[in-house]
Amino acid sequence: MSFTRRILMVGTAMALGIAGAMAQAFPTKPITMIVPFAAGGPTDTIARIVGEHMSRTLGQTVVIENVAGAGGTTGITRAARSAADGYTIMMGHMGTHGAAPGLYPKLAYDPQKDFTPIGLAAGTPIVIVTRKDLPVKDLKEFMEYAKKNEKTINQAHAGSGSVSHITCILLNEMMKVDPTPIPYQGTGPALNDLVSGKVDYMCDQIVSVQGQVAGGGVRGLAIATPSRSPSLPNVPTTLEAGLSMFQVSAWNAVFAPKDIPADVAKKLQDALVKAVTDPATKTKLEGLGGVVPDAQRASPEALATLVKTENDRWVPLLSRKVKQ
Amino acid sequence: MELIANLGHGFAIAVTPTNILLCLIGALVGTLIGVLPGIGPIATIAMLLPITYKLDPTGALIMLAGIYYGAQYGGSTTAILVNLPGESSSVVTAIDGHQMAKKGKAGTALAIAAIGSFIAGTFGTILVAALGKPLTQVAQAFGPADYFSLMVLGLVCAIVLASGSVLKAIAMIFLGLLLSTVGTDLETGEQRMTFGYLPLADGIEFVTLAMGMFGFAEILRNLEAQSSRDIVSQKVTNLMPTRDDLKEAAPAVARGTLLGSILGILPGGGAVLAAFGAYTLEKKISKKPQEFGKGAIRGVAGPESANNAAAQTSFIPLLTLGIPPNAVMAVMVGAMTIHGIVPGPQIMTKQPDLFWGLIASMWIGNLMLVIINLPLVGLWVRLLRVPYRMLFPAILFFCAIGVYSINNQPFDVVLTAFFGLTGYLLIKLGFEPAPMLVAFVLGKIMEEKLRQAMLLSRGDPFTFVNFDRHPISTVLIIVSAVLLILAITPALRKKRNEVFVED
């Protein structure tokens, strides 16, 4: 046993040594990008678009590996523990790197310490949507209505710890409303019951709801960004609608395990910035309703700051609201 | 008339050489992964997504859809030949299909499955084209309370129709329900019955359970009785169904198609409920119920038609609302968004090429599948002649790959092995795995819907029988109650025992 373990350790050390020596040539084999959510979701879609462009810059395929589970923390835990050679990177997100410490007391990683930030990929703004026959015209009226009907109003969300869950916790806190949250297994079923009017409102990423808003299945009350989205030009911002404090975007960002060689990190960072600033990629991401960062906001320093401010915002709120 | 014009437009798009080729590739890949145990359409579609980046969106979706319904065809093959349901919807096919194979009628079972699937697929496609919009309304009428009651009805059917001891069947149903509650609590995020073990946090995968309970356990059981299968494989007689077989199966195909088309529209457990419901129905109305579980052709024809009809009509919520009803469709939504198509109610009007092209290609794909699958029947049956010392390791190998590919998690393979041992013990003790698997699948949806219904009614348990608010639910509960009473009346129990004594 101990002999085997020693061999393994020697092997790992050799592999690390080789990886260090070969950093100049990085990458010499395909890179795995762990996406901590199921294929087809918003984070997965963004990862595939960005990964495809990064492949072209790096000259090696960026392979997407979906490791879903526990609000994305399963995949991130695994990615955090993989070899720090740059061949395993991950698409982290507002939930896994911003809110998770407030949701999972036994979280196996520290978002601020256990990663090498590579850069921001794209954020998808949050939209407040209601059933189409709710008797309110705009966000102001909705806030009054929600307050008055606090006992009977139902708010759907896509499951404990999901973006739609935690962003609506923030919204309810700001509206000072305590509705009955109805949990669903994912955005699809939640949206389905919102379209058929069985629940009253929910918060979710623009990419998931824009089709329904545009098609009239649900009503979009406000988008939680400073400016309107070209994907939903008729939906006012929370600034215009009178709840300026509610500014939330489900950001997605690339991280690597901590302590990867600096030159490897640099290559990955450059490839990412090149991807998000490429006009074609940018158009694709914006088609999803995504907000694409400029080179400065896509920098690793900006990402490190973002993780910290997001932890400061979510962890106290969620520790109080979710774990009681 | 507009429908014919629209379908004409769709066929014009679907029969371009590129799209025909993509449809064929999809159907072939789907058949292949359906045949390989454990490798499901979700993992495959996710893996093939990068290839579709370069295609136009209609072609990409035609190919991905082909994989989805192709897998429904292929999934029945392993269920029949080696008692290994690769998809949740082919669990019931394994019951009688494998018995037919044991009797040397594997070819007949496979051919009936293919023909039934084709007829069901054709009908389902027409339904999607003609009544997609109004049928969406039906699906929308189903709220959490109604779903819960539908699942109750499903469980009651599982009790009524299980073979052997009623008590053992009920015990297996509860075991299935219990296993379905492993994982993270939907509402509180608390972990339940995971022993603090992270890989269990998202619950047990259906494939893990099914591969273990059916695949691994079946292999263990066969190792014990080494000679029996060799005899089976030698007496393979006719490959194609006889006129009598077709006559026997035809009404079951028709009923299965109808039932599957209706249940397929409902998001979530539609296809499973369809296959299972069709089996229940066939057994109930059959004049020779004692044949079920021992190789009844209707026990294959009904559920196989139902699950394929459901596979077609499950596109309705995706195409008319843009809301994916299951995980496979969710990946297809991902494929659409990557191509810049926003899924939503406006797809039909804004993307008529995609909408009608896809529908037309679904029929072409089904036609291809029946043409591909019928000649393959002979080949598949010959697989049964492969010596066990080669076949078994091969099955275990593919199972392990398949199980691993779901979450890329080695632990799942270990869990499958564990379920294999458990399944073997249970079979030895006379407990059947099928009711447990059905309860496991229904249990997940049932719990979610129960909690939503209770939250929405603010904890009123009578919400399910409140006719004014939930008429569908009320009717379903009444039907369930009547069935349950029938099940416990002595006369029926006696009959049921005749029907379900297993060898």
Identify the residue among B64, B336, B338 best suited for mutation to test binding to A, counting A beta carbons within 10 A and taking the highest. B338
A288 sits in the region (left: phi over 0; alpha: psi -120 to 50; else beta) called alpha
Structure tokens that stand for A283 in this block: 């158009």
Domains in chain A: how many in total? 2
pLDDT score at B503: 38
Which residues of A are less than 8 Å from B198 in CB distance?
Answer: 69-70, 74, 77, 108
SS3 of B222-271: HHHCHHHHHHHHHCCCCCCCCHHHHHHHHHHHHHHHHHHHHHHCCCCCHH
Closest residue, chain A, to B198 (C-alpha): A74
- Is the CB of A215 inside 8 Å of chain B's CB atoms? yes
A6 in any annotated domain: no
Between β-strands A154-157 and A180-183, what pairing exists: parallel, antiparallel or unpaired? parallel
| pLDDT, tens digit, 9 for 90 and up, residues B217-257 | 888 887 876 655 544 555 555 677 888 889 999 999 999 99
* pLDDT at B258 (0 to 100): 94
Write the DSSP symbol of residue B302. H
Average pLDDT value for chain B: 84
Torsion of CA A123, A124, A126, A130, to 10 degrees: 180
A237 shares a domain with A153: yes
Who wins on pLDDT, B281 or B199?
Answer: B281
Of the listed ranges B38-42, B357-361, B389-393, B440-444, the least confidently predicted one is B38-42
Q: Which residue out of B137, B180, B194, B323 would a mutagenesis test of the A interface target, given it has the greatest number of A Cβ atoms within 10 Å?
A: B323
Please say whether the beta carbons of A258 and A116 come within 8 A.
Answer: yes
Provide the terminal-to-terminal Cα distance of chain A, rounded to the nearest Å: 44
Which pLDDT belongs to residue B230? Answer: 47
Which of A214, A241, A268 is where one domain is finished?
A241
Structural domain includes residue A150: yes
Least confident piece of the model among B158-172, B311-325, B360-374: B158-172
Q: What is the reported pLDDT for B231?
A: 43
pLDDT in tens, B174-187: 999 999 999 888 88
Which residues 327-366 on chain B approach chain A with CB closer than 8 angstroms?
A: 327, 330-335, 337-338, 340, 342-347
Average pLDDT for residues B310-329, to the nearest whole number?
83
Q: Are strands A88-93 and A249-257 parallel, antiparallel or unpaired?
A: antiparallel
| Residue A138 lies inside a defined structural domain of this protein | yes
Evaluate whether A306 touches A254 at the Cβ level (below 8 Å).
no
The encoded tokens of residue A232 equal 């939903």
- Model confidence over B66-121: pLDDT tens digits? 998 888 888 888 888 888 876 777 888 888 898 888 888 888 999 999 999 999 99
pLDDT per position in chain A (324 positions), as tens? 445 555 555 555 455 545 444 546 889 999 999 999 888 888 999 999 999 999 999 999 999 998 887 788 889 999 999 999 999 999 999 999 999 999 888 889 999 999 999 999 999 999 999 999 999 999 999 999 999 999 999 999 998 889 999 999 999 999 999 999 999 988 888 998 999 999 999 999 998 899 899 988 999 999 999 999 999 999 999 999 999 999 999 999 999 999 999 999 999 999 999 999 999 999 989 888 889 998 888 999 999 999 999 999 999 999 888 754
CATH number at residue A58: 3.40.190.150
- How far apart, in whole angstroms, are the C-alpha atoms of residue B54 and residue B478? 53
ipTM: 0.83
How many whole angstroms separate alpha carbon B271 and alpha carbon B280?
A: 14
Predicted pLDDT at A324: 43
Q: How many CA atoms lie within 13 A of A223 on its CB side?
A: 25
Residues A118 and A137 in one domain: no
Q: What is the pLDDT of residue B502?
A: 43
Find the domain containing A302 and state its range: 27-124+250-321
Choosing from A241, A267, A288, the residue where a domain stops is A241
What are the chain B neighbours of A38 within 8 Å (beta carbons)?
A: 327, 330-331
Residue A20 located in a structural domain:
no
Give tens-digit pLDDT for B40-69. 777 788 778 877 877 888 999 999 999 988
Residues A120 and A256 in one domain: yes
| Centroid of chain to Cα B296 | 19
Taking contacts as CB-CB distances below 8 angstroms, the residues of chain B near A66 are 46, 408
B260-275 pLDDT tens trace: 998 888 766 677 788 8
A219 and A263 inside one domain: no
Answer yes or no: do A104 and A160 share one domain.
Answer: no
Instruction: State the nearest Cα–Cα gap between B57 and chain A, in angstroms.
Output: 14
The residue in chain A having the minimum alpha-carbon distance to the alpha carbon of residue B205 is A69
* Domain end position, chosen among A241, A260, A275: A241
Q: Give pLDDT, residue A323.
A: 56
Question: Are residue A116 and residue A264 in the same domain, yes or no?
Answer: yes
Domain ranges of chain B: 2-387+403-500
Q: How far apart are CA B263 and CA B307, in angstroms?
A: 9
Q: Can you say how many angstroms the Cα of residue A77 is from the centroid of all Cα atoms in its chain?
A: 16
Query: Which residues touch B384 (CB under 8 Å, ≥6 apart)?
Result: B81, B101, B106, B229, B232, B233, B236
Q: What is the pLDDT of residue B1?
A: 66
How far apart CA B169 and CA B176 sit, in angstroms, is 11
Share of chain B above pLDDT 90, in %: 27
Are both A168 and A305 inside the same structural domain?
Answer: no
- Domain contains A109: yes
* A288 to B337: CB separation less than 8 angstroms, yes or no: yes
* A130 plus A230 within the same structural domain: yes
Q: Tell me, yes or no, whether A267 and A206 share the same domain.
A: no
pTM to 2 decimals? 0.84
CA A207 – CA B70 distance, rounded (Å): 29
Which has more confidence, A3 or B31?
A: B31
User: What mean pLDDT comes out for the span B140-144?
Assistant: 86
Cβ contact, residue pair B344, A212, below 8 Å: yes
3-state helix, strand, coil split of chain B in percent (to 5) is: 80, 0, 20
* Residues of chain A neighbouring B355 (CB-CB closer than 8 A): none
Q: Are residues A129 and A115 located together in one domain of the fold?
A: no
- Whether residues B343 and A211 touch (CB distance < 8 A) is answered with yes
A236–chain B Cβ distance below 8 A for any pair: no
On whether residue A108 sits in a domain, the answer given is yes
Residues A31, A109 within the same domain:
yes
